Amino acid sequence: MSKPVVEFWFEFASTYSYLSAMRLPRMAEASGVTVHWRPFLLGPIFAAQGMSDSPFKIFPTKGAYMWRDIERLAARQGVPFRRLERFPQNGLHAARIAQIALHRSEGIAFCHNVYLAEFADGKDISDPETLADCAARAGLPTDILSNAKTPENKLALRHATEAAAERGVFGAPSFLVGDELFWGDDRLQDALDWAIRHG
């Protein structure tokens, strides 16, 4: 009998995606659920909603709340965190690499490394050196950065983002169990429970 499946749609610029990504493997294993990691880009999603930037930038009060909320949640979950001087970061190249990396066993480690470089160490995840280090520490082959720049892979990320929008994804993190959508880090356990009951 196959395991129930949850699709994890995430953006590297997303603070709440960071929290979900760091605890998802442990929670999924404990629940007996298979997770498909799906990187995508929030920029086009927000643009379709009439927003030119992150809502946490557009609405400063909301942004201030988000930073304090992440601090509390990270402390409770034992996840390292520091506020970023520049937010949101550009996660385009990281997402392109992740698309390829996640076909390998080292893919999740790469995603974790990117998130930690960004939200624990305050590094620029659009910097090729930062991404190369994240890939190397995950044990990925050295040519993965160049392979991520192929027209085919660039188009694949665009298609992934379009697929996310078509399936009702409007923010990150989002979790899909079939056509059932759960949005936000605080719905992670709900998504896993739904997959167990209905997957």
8 A C-beta contact, residue 89 and residue 127: no
Judged on CB neighbours under 10 Å (0-12, 13-18, 19+), 52 is exposed
pTM for the full model?
0.96
Please identify, in words, the CATH class of the domain defined by 5-198.
alpha beta
Residues 110 and 98 sit within 8 Å (Cβ to Cβ): yes
Cα distances from 122 to residues 4, 34, 84, 91, 163, in angstroms, run 35, 31, 6, 14, 31
Read off the DSSP letter of residue 199. Answer: -
**pLDDT tens digits for range 154-166:** 999 999 999 999 9
Q: Which of 150, 21, 175, 9 is nearest to 93 (CA)?
A: 150
Tens of pLDDT, residues 107-146: 999 999 999 999 999 999 999 999 999 999 999 999 999 9
